[in-house]
Chain A
Amino acid sequence: MEEKYIKHKYEPIHPSKDEWPVVKLARERKEFVKKVADLSEDRILNLTGNNPDILKEELETTLYREKLRIKQNPWVVDPDDDGSFWSGVKSSLVQISTETARSKVKRFQEYKSVLNSITSRYAEEIASNFKATHYKFTRSVVTYGFSRLLNAARVKGFKSIFSNQYTLQDKIQITGETDQLRDLATKGTVVMVPTHFSNLDSILIGWVISVLGLPPFIYGAGLNLFNISIFAYFMNSLGAYKVDRRKKNLMYLETLKTYSKEAIQFGCHSLFFPGGTRSRSGMIESKLKLGLLSTAIEAQRANFQNGINDISGKVFIVPVTINYHFVLEAPSLIRDHLSITGQERYYRENDEFSNSYKISKFLIKFFTKGSDISVSVGRAMDVLGNYVDVDGRSLDKNGRVINTRDYFISGGEVSVDNQREEEYTNMLGKRIVEEFHKINRVFNSHLVAFVAFELIKRQNRKLDLFDLLRLPEEEISISYEEFKGNCQIVLDKINQLKTQGLINTAPHLSLDMEEVINRGIENVGMYHAKRPIIQDKNGDIGTEDMSLLYFYHNRLTGYELEKLF
C-alpha cells in the first residue's frame, strides 16, 4: 500500500529487563501468590459478614459447582489432582459439620482454613508463569518469522527470503498517542483496554507493546486458550495470567479480582479486554464486563489510602482499537451472535482457532496476501475517565487540573465505599466505549460493507433482521451507481464526524471513490470462502453471505450513520 506511515523505531523505556515490573513480580511470585490468597480470604470473609453459616454455605456451593465442572466439562489444562483436591475439601467440610462437639469459634477457624486452601489453589492457578528469556525468544520469533514470511511473499525471487524490505510494521500500523503511552508507562501504571474481535488480538497486542518499547503487560487470557499448545507458549511468555470462564463461583472471582488489583498496585502494566470476550456481532463493544475494570479503580484508591499520591501511584486507562479488514472467526462469531439474539438455535462454542495447523495456515495467508491491520492508541485517562496531561495530571472538561484522589474523599479522607466504586466503574465503562468510537479507524472495507448492507435493508424495508439475513443471495443486487452515490454520502458524514473528533479514518479513504470501493470490496473479509461483497459483470453489487456482510457492516454501527438511509 502506498500509504505513508512514519515507522518509528522505539527504544525500550526500561533497557534492563530487571526493571520490568513483570520480572520483579515473577521473582516474587511465591510471596505474591500467598498475598493474593490471604487477601482474597479476607475479602470473602468480609462478603460473608464473618458469619460461619454463610461461609459454610458458600464453601458448599463452590464445592458443588467444582465437582460438576470436573464431571461435565473437563479440559486438557486442568491439573491432575483436581478431583482429589475437591474430594479433600468435601471430606473436611463433612468432618467439620458432623463433629458437633467443637465450639463455634473452632469451627469457624476450620472453615477459614478450608477457604484459604481454596483461595491459595486458585491464586496459584491464576498466577502467570512469566519468564523473561521466553519472552525475548517469543518476541524475536514473532518478529523474525513474520518478516521472513512477509518478504518472501512481497519481493520476488529466491533471495527474497533474506530481504528486509518489508517489516511487520508495514502490515500493522500503530497510530495515536503512542508517545504519551510510553511516557506514562515510565511514571505510573498503565491499564490498556483494547477492543476484541479475534483470538489473534492477544498476540497482536503483545507484539505492539514490544514494538513500542514497553515492558510486557500482564493480562487475563481465557484458560481455554491454554488448551492449545502453541497459544499456551505464547501466552505464558507474554505474561498472561489465566482466567477460567467455567468457574463462576464467588471464591474464584474474588481471587481473580484480588490478583488483578494487587498486580496493578505492584506496578505491573495490565491489559484487559473489557468486552470480556470477542465481539460476536462485529460491533464495537458497547457493554463492557466491568469486573476486572473495577480492580483498576480499587487499586487506584488503595494507592491513595497508602499515601501514594504522586504519579508513581497513578493508574492510567488507555483505550486501544484494533481494526481489521478481515476477521478469521467472523462466520462463527456472527452465527453465535445471531443464534443468541434470534434464539432459534442453541448456543454452541465454536473456535476456528482449534488447532495449531489452522492458525499457521491463517498466518501464511495473512502475510502472503496482505490485509492491513491498524492499532490506534487512544488518549490516556485516569480511572474516572478524565484525560490526563503530559505529567499525568487529570484534567476536567475545561482543562483545569483536578486531583483524582478527590473522588475517593469523604469527610476529608480517602474512604472505601464499594457502592461508590461500582458507580465509578460504570462511568469508566461508558467513557471507554465513547473513546473506542472516537479512535476507531474506518477502513474502506468497513465503508463498503456498511453501505451495501444498508442499501439491501432499504430495498427490503418490510423485513426484520432475521428475514433479511435469510434472503436468497441470488436475488440481491444493487446498481453500482446507487452504491457509489451512497458510499459518498456516508463517507462525507464520516468525514464530518471526524472533524468533530468523533471517529477516525484510515488515509486510504481519501483516494478517489472508485478506488476506495474497488479496494474495499477486495479487502472486506478477503479470505472467507463466501465473500461478503461481490460484483457481477455489470459492476453491480451483490453478496454471497448476508450474515458476514452484516458482521462487517456492524463495525460502523453506533454513529447513527444508518439514519442516512
Chain B
Amino acid sequence: MNSKNSSKPKYIGVIGVGSFGAAIANILAAKNPVMVYARKQEVVEEINTNHTAQGKVLSENVIASNDPEQLAKSCDVLFFMVSSSGFQDVVRTFSPFLFPYHLIIHGTKGLCLNLKTGETLDTVKRIKRSQILTMSEVILQETVAVRVGCLAGPNLSKELAQGQPAATVIASKYNEVILEGQSLLRSEKFQVYGNSDIIGVEISGVLKNIIAIASGALAGLGLGENAKGLLISRGMVEMIHLGNALGGSIKSVMGLAGIGDLVATCNSSHSRNFSVGYRLAKGERLETIVSDMDEVAEGINTVRIVKAFLETADLRAPITENLYRVLFEDLEIEEALQFLMKYPFNVDVDFV
C-alpha cells in the first residue's frame, strides 16, 4: 500500500449520479477533480462526452467510470449517493477494493434490514434494532473502512442545482471525517455543520421522510397551514421518541438533519415523499404512484420497517402507524386523520 503517493492530485469519488449525487458532485467539483461512478456504460459516456448525466448538467471537472476498482484507487474520499434499496449491493461491489485508509461519507436517507438468508420483512413481521442497519452500519458491516460519515440536512437537489444557499450537516464519530467533509464541500453558498452523533443524524434524515408523506397527504386534502404546523410539531415529537429508541440523541433531531430537513421537505412539492402523500390524498393508488416515479420515495420503505420495529419496541408512534395502514391496509386518509385528531396527545412536550 506504499504505492500511495500524494504527488498527483487525488480525485474525490461520488458513487451514484441521481439528482442528489449530481448536485453533490458539482459542489465538490468546485474545489477538486471528481470521479463519479455510474453502473451503465451509456451514462458514463454521456458524462465524459457531454458533461451531463441523464439530462442533469455536470461540471467539466467531473469524469465518470463504471469500474469500482478504478474509483477506489483514484480516490481517498468517497461519497456514496445511491438509493437505500440499492445501497447494500453497491457497497458490496466496492468492498473488495476499499481499504482502511478510505474515508466514506454517504448521503442516503434510508434503512436496510439485517436478516438471515431466506427471511424477508413479510416473513418476520417483527424486527429488533439489531435487525435494522443504518447506511453507515451497512458500510461498517460490509467493508473494512471505519472512518465513515453521513451527509444530511435540508438539501433539496433542485435548489442545490440552482445554486441557492443551503446548509448541510456531516455526522461522524471521527472529527477528521467531519473536517475533511467540511473542507471539501464548504462554499459561499453551502454551509457545512458537524455532529458526532452519526446514528442520530441518519435516523433523523430517515424518519423525516415519513412525516413528509403525511405532510403531502394533508396538502392533497387541501388543508392549510394550521394543520401543517400541527403535523410538523407532532411529527417532531414522534421522531424524537423513535430516534431515541433507535439509538440517536434528541439533540440531533433538533438540528439541521431533523427539524431543518423536516420543515424543508414538508413544504416542498419537489420532494418525492411529499408527492407520494399528495397523490394518495388525491385518490391515486400506491402502486400507480410508485410505478411512475423515476426515483424511489424512501419514506414508503421506511414506514414498513419502522412499523415492524414498533412491534418489538415499547413505544407508540401514531403518525407512522396510521400512515402504514393508509399505505398498505387501505385505510382512507380521511379516517386516518380522524383517528389522529382523536388521539390523546394531550402533553405538548414530554421529551425534555
Residues of A within 8 A of B (CB): 309, 384, 386, 396-398, 400, 402-407, 409-413, 417, 419-420, 423-424, 427
With A396-B144, A397-B144, A405-B1 in contact, do A420 and B99 touch (Cβ < 8 Å)?
no
Bound Cα distance from A386 to B101, whole angstroms: 15
Contact assessment for A402 and B99 in the assembled complex, using a CB-CB cutoff below 8 Å: yes
Closest 6 pairs (CB-CB, A-B) = A412-B6, A406-B100, A406-B101, A396-B144, A409-B101, A407-B100
CB atoms of B146 and A407 under 8 A apart: yes
CA distance A406 to B4 in the complex (A): 10
CA distance A402 to B76 in the complex (A): 16
* Nearest-neighbor residue (CB-CB) of B177 within chain A: A420
* Contact across chains for A402 and B100 when beta carbons are under 8 A apart: yes
Q: Does B173 contact A (CB under 8 A)?
A: yes
What's the minimum C-beta distance from B138 to chain A, rounded to whole angstroms? 13
CB pair A420–B175 under 8 Å, yes or no, is yes
Q: Given the complex, which residues of A lie within 8 Å of B99, measured CB to CB?
A: 402-403, 406
* Min C-beta distance of A41 to chain B, whole Å: 26
Which residue of chain B has its CB nearest to the CB of A427?
Answer: B146
Q: List, in ascending order, chain A residues with CB within 8 A of B174's CB.
A: 417, 419-420, 423
Taking the closest CB of chain B, its distance from the CB of A296, in whole angstroms, is 17
- The residue of chain A having its C-beta at the shortest distance from the C-beta of B196 within the complex is A419
Q: Which of A403, A404, A417, A427 is in CB contact (< 8 Å) with B176?
A: A417
Q: A384 vs B99: C-alpha distance in the bound complex, in angstroms?
A: 13
Write the nearest CB–CB distance from A516 to chain B, whole angstroms: 31
Partner of A384, one of B1, B6, B146: B146
In this complex, how many residues of chain B approach chain A with their Cβ under 8 Å: the count is 18
In the assembled complex, the Cα of A470 lies from the Cα of B66 at a distance in Å of 67
Write out the residue numbers on chain B whose beta carbons fall within 8 Å of the beta carbon of A405: 1
Measured CB to CB, the nearest residue on chain A to B140 is A427
Quote the shortest CB–CB distance from A426 to chain B (angstroms): 8
B175-A412 in contact (CB<8A): no
When C-beta atoms are compared, the residue in chain B nearest to A396 turns out to be B144
The total of Cβ contacts below 8 Å across the A-B interface reads 52
Are the CB atoms of B96 and A400 closer together than 8 Å? yes
A contacts with B: majority SS: mixed
Which residue of the partner chain A has the closest CB to B96? A400
**Contacts of B144 on A, CB cut-off 8 Å?**
386, 396-397, 400, 402
**Residues on the B chain within 8 Å of A384, using CB:** 100, 146
Q: Mark B138-169, 1 if CB is under 8 A from A, else 0.
A: 00000010110000000000000000000000
Query: Which residues of the partner chain A approach B101 to less than 8 Å between Cβ atoms?
Result: 406-407, 409-410
Residues of B within 8 A of A412 (CB): 4-6, 76
CB distance from B198 to the nearest CB of A (A): 11
Q: List 13 A-B contacts (CB under 8 A).
A: A309-B2, A384-B146, A396-B144, A397-B144, A404-B100, A405-B1, A407-B101, A410-B101, A410-B176, A417-B174, A420-B175, A423-B173, A423-B174
List the B residue with the shortest CB-CB distance to A426.
B173
Cβ contacts B60-86/A at 8 Å (1 or 0 each): 000000000000000010000000000
The chain B residue with its CB closest to the CB of A386 is: B144
In whole angstroms, how far apart are the Cα atoms of A412 and B75 in the complex?
A: 11
Measured between beta carbons, the chain A residues less than 8 angstroms from B176 are: 410, 417, 419-420
Q: Which residues of B contact A403 (CB under 8 A)?
A: 1, 99-100
Bound Cα distance A398, B99 (Å) = 12
Interface residues of B (CB under 8 A from A): 1-2, 4-6, 76, 95-96, 99-101, 144, 146-147, 173-176
Residue of A nearest to B142 (CB): A397
Contact B175 A406 (CB under 8 A): no
Q: Give the chain A neighbours of B95 by CB distance below 8 A.
A: 398
How long is the Cα–Cα vector from A406 to B144 in the complex, in angstroms? 11
Which of A402, A411, A424 interacts with B6 by CB under 8 Å?
A411
When distances are taken between beta carbons in the complex, the residues of chain B under 8 Å from A396 are 144
- Flag if A417 contacts B175 (CB, 8 Å): yes
Given A402-B99, A406-B100, 16 other A-B residues pairs in contact with their CB atoms under 8 A:
A384-B146, A386-B144, A403-B99, A407-B101, A407-B146, A409-B4, A409-B100, A411-B76, A412-B4, A412-B5, A412-B76, A417-B174, A419-B175, A420-B176, A423-B146, A424-B146
> How many whole Å from B73's CB to the nearest CB in chain A?
13
CA distance A417 to B175 in the complex (A): 9
B143's closest neighbor in chain A, by CB?
A396
Q: A406-B99, A406-B101 are in contact. Are A420 and B147 (CB under 8 A)?
A: yes
For the complex formed, measure the closest distance between the CB of B142 and the CB atoms of chain A, giving whole angstroms: 9
Complex-state Cα separation, A386 to B144, whole angstroms: 10
A412's closest neighbor in chain B, by CB? B6
B146 cross-chain contacts in A, Cβ below 8 A: 384, 407, 423-424, 427
Of B1, B5, B6, B96, the residue contacting A406 (CB under 8 A) is: B1
Residues of B within 8 A of A424 (CB): 146
Q: From residue B182, how far is it (CB to closest CB) to chain A in Å?
A: 15
CB distance from A362 to the nearest CB of B (A): 42
CB distance from B184 to the nearest CB of A (A): 12
* B residues in contact with A419, CB < 8 Å: 174-176
Q: Which B residue's beta carbon lies closest to that of A417?
A: B176
Query: B6: shortest Cβ distance to chain A, in Å?
Result: 4
Inter-chain CA distance A507–B52, complex, in Å, is 66
Instruction: Kindly list chain A residues whose C-beta atoms are within 8 Å of the C-beta of B1.
Output: 403, 405-406
Q: Give min CB distance, B98 to chain A, whole Å.
A: 9
A424–B174 alpha-carbon span in the complex (Å): 10
Assembled-state Cα–Cα distance A407/B101 (Å)? 5
CA distance A377 to B1 in the complex (A): 31
Residues from chain B with Cβ under 8 Å of A410 in the complex: 101, 176
Chain A: CB-nearest residue to B6: A412
> In the complex, how many angstroms separate the beta carbon of A69 from the nearest chain B beta carbon?
35
User: Which B residues touch A406, using CB under 8 A?
Assistant: 1, 99-101
CA distance A404 to B1 in the complex (A): 10
Tell me the minimal C-beta distance from A563 to chain B in angstroms: 12
Complex CA–CA separation, A345 to B228 (angstroms): 54
A399: min CB distance to chain B, Å = 11
Q: Give A164 Cβ to nearest chain B Cβ, in Å.
A: 51
Bound Cα distance A423, B144 (Å): 15
Report the minimum CB–CB distance from A381 to chain B (whole Å). Answer: 14
Report the Cα distance A427→B1, complex, angstroms. Answer: 23
